Structure 1
Amino acid sequence: MPERDDLDGELSARSRELFLTNLWSLLVDEDEWTDGSPSWIEQWMRGTPPGSVPAFPTAAALHRILACGVDPDDLTDVVRTMQHEVVYDICQLLDDPTLLGLPAESSWELTAVRTAPPVGRSPMYGLHSGLDELDPSGRGGEPRPRPVPARLPGQPLYARIAVAQARAGDRHTALKTWRTATGATLAEAKAALDALLEQP
């Protein structure tokens, strides 16, 4: 039978991992698209007739931003980075209450509690230091690297991004960018991208 300390340590480690993994799931998904838009943006715009301004203030703000020609992926990166910063700061406050100006002898803890025998409490520590280790993208909390769109007057933003990605040596991502934005087949995306890459 496992020792009590082993059970408590296992509960603490598993609870910490589940807590941090679920924090990551609260951030916007940088890869999920619906109807030609990042899914998190589409959720805000859902129910708004084409050409109309959404009634809800946050959705209306998103509408104005996108109407200015902002790349939806750039917007996703900004929002996700800010969400990451908030989650990381919350984890720091849970790890160290003195950051709030409380006396050094003050403490609190996030604790997993086992109610079935053997009953026990397993505090979770090192939340902020462990958060980035569980980044599902594998980038340790860093934003995704994206090239500056190529200068191609008259071409839509997705085309300029795809060309920049291809020129940077990432043809797979370039084709994915093109197909996500246009719904083109792989052959159509290759032909269109190659035509642009041949331009001076």
Structure 2
Amino acid sequence: MSTKPMNTEEIKKELIARMPTKVARKRAKAMTPGAQGGEIPEIQANVRTIPGIITQRGCTYAGCKGVVLGPSRDIVNLTHGPIGCGFYSWLTRRNQTDAGPDGDNFIPYSFSTDMTEHDIVFGGMKKLAAAIQEAYDNFHPKAISVFSTCPVGLIGDDIHAVARQMQEKLGITVFANSCEGYKGVSQSAGHHIANNQIMK
């Protein structure tokens, strides 16, 4: 291996060479070597995120759950989807808080329905209702917010119907956010969805 430092263009070529052809074509457009000779490179930015690929930009779900509603300490925020999505948006990295005067602080917990292939084939609405019930039984929150991930949107689980049903049963506010990761260009679509649901 050479000890000679590589320039940024060489580094880009080496990284792209390790990727599958289709991925490499897309990623090559987004990888911009530093300024050469005073030129400021233009960075590709306003394109849809690719579901399943975690980037610095995140996805609609990350914006809805991770940015807007996730930091709310007195709401149980329940991810309806695979455990990877729930863990990715778990707030271990920021927005830590002490319990307020009411003693509620659910931020240290990661609530998820942990959807598996079985749930994706046969539907996950019963599992979602059971998860809402379990969260209520264990924590007695004043509100529960549900977040859908990509598989939920693809199979058509009606999270809003489950939320209405459980709100009636439990007598607390239960509301859902249709924030599948593929719904927008970046996290900002999730910000809009969460804010609109809060206002409703």
Shared fold per TM-score greater than 0.5: no
Structure with more helix by fraction: 1
Q: Which TM-score tier does this pair reach, normalised by the shorter chain?
A: under 0.3
Which protein is bigger by CA-based radius of gyration?
1
Higher normalized contact order (CA 8 Å, seq sep 6+, divided by chain length): 2
TM-score (norm 1): 0.22
